[in-house]
Amino acid sequence: MSAPNADPILEERARRIVETSIELAERGGFEAVRLRDVAAHAGVAMGTLYRRFRSKEDLLVAALEQETRTLAQRVRQRPPKGSEASERVVGFFEIATRGMVRRPNLSRAMLRATAAGEPILAEKVEVFHDLMRRMIVSALRGEPVEGAAGGISDDERRVGDLLNRVWFALMMSWAGGGQSPGKIGEEMRTSVELVLGRPVQKAIPRTGAMERVVQQPEK
């Protein structure tokens, strides 16, 4: 509890296991992540794998957290631009969505894992949601993503949670094969507008200087 994991060797092993899972999932989705294969590829025995991860879902949620941290890093370096908060938030979700859509098999597998329902897993899923919320709030503010949990106002938390939930449900729906990426972006945009107020617009006067960011007025 105190030290968040010290042994570099164990760390290294765990990292390799997660890495392998990601590769397999990327290739063939959830079912392709056969634990025997993961263990073999990662060069460990089943026992070791199960010592670090409680279940297949645990493994994939770990992958989700890792991928999300990568996203955070990416956003930290190239934060979504825009003068309006809504513009930036929409921009952020576009980045996040693109990240998911780019590797559908992997994403589907990770999303599915979040639904397992084990309480212990749920905590790790919560970590993922925390990361997301933090990124959303920082896009909202137009500030860089800060590492610390910094002070988030109640309003920010409310809006962040709401949008995060909408996006997550949208991803779940996409994972099933329902929503197309275009639809996702669209619905995300209208959701942001609904919550943050009209502002977004960005396309009022003859496509002034700022019509970048989001795509055209759809239809």
Partner DNA sequence: CCCGGGGCTGGAACGTGTTTCAAAAGCGTG
Partner DNA sequence: CACGCTTTTGAAACACGTTCCAGCCCCGGG
Applying CB under 7 A, the residues found at the interface with DNA are: 9-10, 13, 31, 33-36, 43-48, 50-51, 54-57
Rounded Cα distance, 103 and 100, in Å: 6
How big is the chain, counted in residues? 219
40 CB-near residues (< 8 Å, 6+ apart): none
Instruction: Name the residue type at position 35.
Output: L
- Exposed, middle or buried: residue 19 (CB in 10 Å: 0-12, 13-18, 19+)? middle
Q: Determine the distance from the C-alpha atom of residue 90 to the mean position of all C-alpha atoms in its chain, rounded to a whole number.
A: 14
Residue 161 CB, nearest distance to a copy of itself (Å)? 7
Q: Does 176 bind a copy of itself (CB under 8 A)?
A: yes
Query: Which one of a copy of itself, DNA, none is in contact with 36 (Cβ closer than 5 to 8 A by kind)?
Result: DNA
Within residues 91-150, the interface with a copy of itself by CB under 8 A covers 108-109, 111-112, 114-119, 121-123, 125-126, 129
Q: What residue ranges bind a copy of itself (CB under 8 A)?
A: 29-30, 108-109, 111-112, 114-119, 121-123, 125-126, 129, 154-155, 158-159, 161-162, 164-166, 168-170, 172-173, 175-178, 187, 190-191, 194-197, 215, 218-219
